[in-house]
């Protein structure tokens, strides 16, 4: 299984180094046939070469690799983050990775930020539409940089795009014995685009009579994620709302450094990355939490059909939390690389 590794920028490099150690260890322990190839695409590479992603980059990712692992992209030296748009959003769009799969699973009660809540209350998955919405950059600026400036940024919702992410959410629920799917939109205010979400959700829900389909406006969802997250099993929403609620999800898991994700197109080369960004102030200081990245490598293995390896990795991360072999963001006193080393040693034992 050939894996493209794009460490990227900032703490992306720090956490990817640990996920790579873990993948190499899994290869030794279970014989998973993993071949990692490192790609240098990043702010550094862009500033040196003027290239964000080479012209054949997307084809290469799609045709030469079984999966992609990404650290994070974003660097203050590239103020418009053109490279991040080309590499990360570019891969999502060009590889048509329409289902952004973001599990929100608390691994230990001690990490829960909510009073009197624990593992039983924080265990759901979010499916974020990943190829349209406000992310498509349709629009423009008129009279830019004048007092008369007009800035238009359209939200694109297509029947195909909305239908396939909602179907994916229901199919995931059915395949995993889950009984509830909640769709969040803003159809009270966004009466064109989100009417489409309403219509499609009702149609698809009717095909799954055993699954309880519910709807929330996104503002209410944000509130209930904090007040009563235990009610959720599967949440499906659009690109922007999914971005925002999965940072709340990160906090529910103990912090953004714990959150993992997969950008999926079932049956095709998919991309796995922690939910967090490049956190420039923490970069290169051996302080970033590598667990979100390591858990993303587990999601990657699960998607590649190596469920047992994925479970082993998750168990090793859980053991590290119990042993308090953790970084400062979740209350520990270890560095990024010490946490990775501990998890590797646990896997090998
Ligand atoms: P961020 O996720 O990088 O960091 C926000 C805060 O969360 C940090 O200051 C830090 O306190 C905490 N944090 C995040 N990850 C952590 C970790 N692993 N360990 C410990 N603490 C952690 O978000 P931001 O500051 O808004 O963005 C920084 C840059 O990253 C921007 O350029 C942004 O566009 C980019 N970004 C990239 C991705 C990606 O590549 N997938 C995702 C989000 C943001
Ligand atoms: C994420 C990130 C990206 C997004 C940024 C870097 C464009 O926040 O993956 O959650 O908004 O999708
Ligand atoms: Mn985000």
| pLDDT for the residue numbered 216 | 98
| pLDDT for the residue numbered 63 | 97
- Establish whether 186 is a catalytic residue: yes
| pLDDT for the residue numbered 221 | 98
In this structure, which topology does domain 113-252 adopt according to CATH?
Answer: Isopropylmalate Dehydrogenase (3.40.718)
| pLDDT for the residue numbered 337 | 98
Q: What are phi and psi of 125, to 5 degrees?
A: -125, 145
Q: What is the pLDDT of residues 105-153, one digit of tens each?
A: 999 999 999 999 999 999 999 999 999 999 999 999 999 999 999 999 9
Low-confidence stretches of the chain (pLDDT < 50) are: none
- Establish whether 243 is a catalytic residue: yes
Ligand 1 within 6 A of 257 CB?
yes
In angstroms, the CA 90 to CA 56 distance is: 12
Q: Which residues contact 224 (CB under 8 A, 6 or more apart)?
A: 216, 231, 232
Closest CA to 237 of 47, 100, 86: 100
Which one of 3.60.20.10, 3.40.718.10, 3.30.1330.120, 3.40.50.300 gives the CATH number of domain 1-98+260-349? 3.40.718.10
Q: Which residues contact 144 (CB under 8 A, 6 or more apart)?
A: 151
pTM over 0.95: yes
Separation of CA 129 and ligand 3 centre (Å): 13
| pLDDT for the residue numbered 160 | 98
Find where tokens 């956190």 sit.
279
- Establish whether 227 is a catalytic residue: no
Closest CA to 122 of 8, 250, 300: 250
| pLDDT for the residue numbered 122 | 98
1-98+260-349 and 113-252 in the same fold: yes
Ligand 1 nearest-atom number relative to CA 329: 20
Ligand 2 nearest-atom number relative to CA 72: 6
In angstroms, the CA 233 to CA 213 distance is: 11
For the chain, the domains span: 1-98+260-349, 113-252
- Which ligand has the shortest distance to the CA of 129? 2
């Amino acid at each position: 299984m050939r894996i493209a590794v794009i460490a990227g920028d900032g703490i992306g490099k720090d956490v990817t180094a640990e996920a790579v150690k873990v993948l190499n260890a899994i290869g030794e322990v279970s014989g998973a046939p993993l071949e990692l190839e490192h790609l240098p695409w990043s702010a550094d590479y862009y500033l040196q070469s003027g290239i964000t992603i080479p012209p054949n980059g997307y084809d290469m990712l799609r045709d030469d690799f079984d999966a992609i692992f990404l650290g994070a992209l974003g660097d203050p030296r590239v103020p418009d983050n053109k490279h991040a748009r080309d590499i990360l959003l570019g891969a999502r769009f060009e590889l048509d990775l329409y289902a952004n799969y973001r599990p929100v699973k608390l691994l230990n009660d001690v990490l829960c930020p909510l009073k009197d809540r624990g593992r039983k209350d924080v265990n759901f998955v979010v499916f974020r539409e990943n190829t349209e919405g406000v992310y498509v950059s349709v629009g423009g600026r008129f009279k830019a940089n004048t007092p008369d400036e007009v800035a238009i940024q359209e939200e694109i919702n297509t029947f195909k795009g909305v239908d396939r992410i909602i179907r994916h959410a229901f199919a995931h629920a059915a395949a995993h014995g889950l009984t509830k799917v909640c769709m969040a939109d803003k159809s009270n205010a966004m009466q064109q685009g989100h009417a489409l979400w309403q219509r499609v959700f009702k149609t698809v829900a009717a095909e799954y009579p055993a699954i309880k389909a519910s709807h929330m406006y996104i503002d209410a969802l944000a509130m209930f994620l904090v007040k009563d997250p235990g009610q959720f099993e599967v949440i499906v929403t659009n690109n922007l709302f999914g971005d925002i609620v999965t940072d709340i999800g990160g906090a529910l898991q103990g912090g953004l450094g714990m959150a993992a994700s997969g950008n999926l197109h079932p049956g095709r080369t998919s991309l796995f990355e922690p939910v967090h960004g490049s956190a420039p102030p923490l970069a290169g200081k051996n302080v970033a939490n590598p667990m979100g990245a390591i858990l993303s490598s587990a999601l990657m293995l699960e998607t590649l059909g190596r469920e047992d390896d994925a479970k082993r990795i998750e168990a090793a991360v859980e053991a590290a939390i119990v042993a308090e072999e953790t970084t400062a963001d979740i209350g520990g006193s270890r560095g990024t690389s010490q946490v990775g080393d501990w998890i590797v040693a646990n896997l090998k034992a």
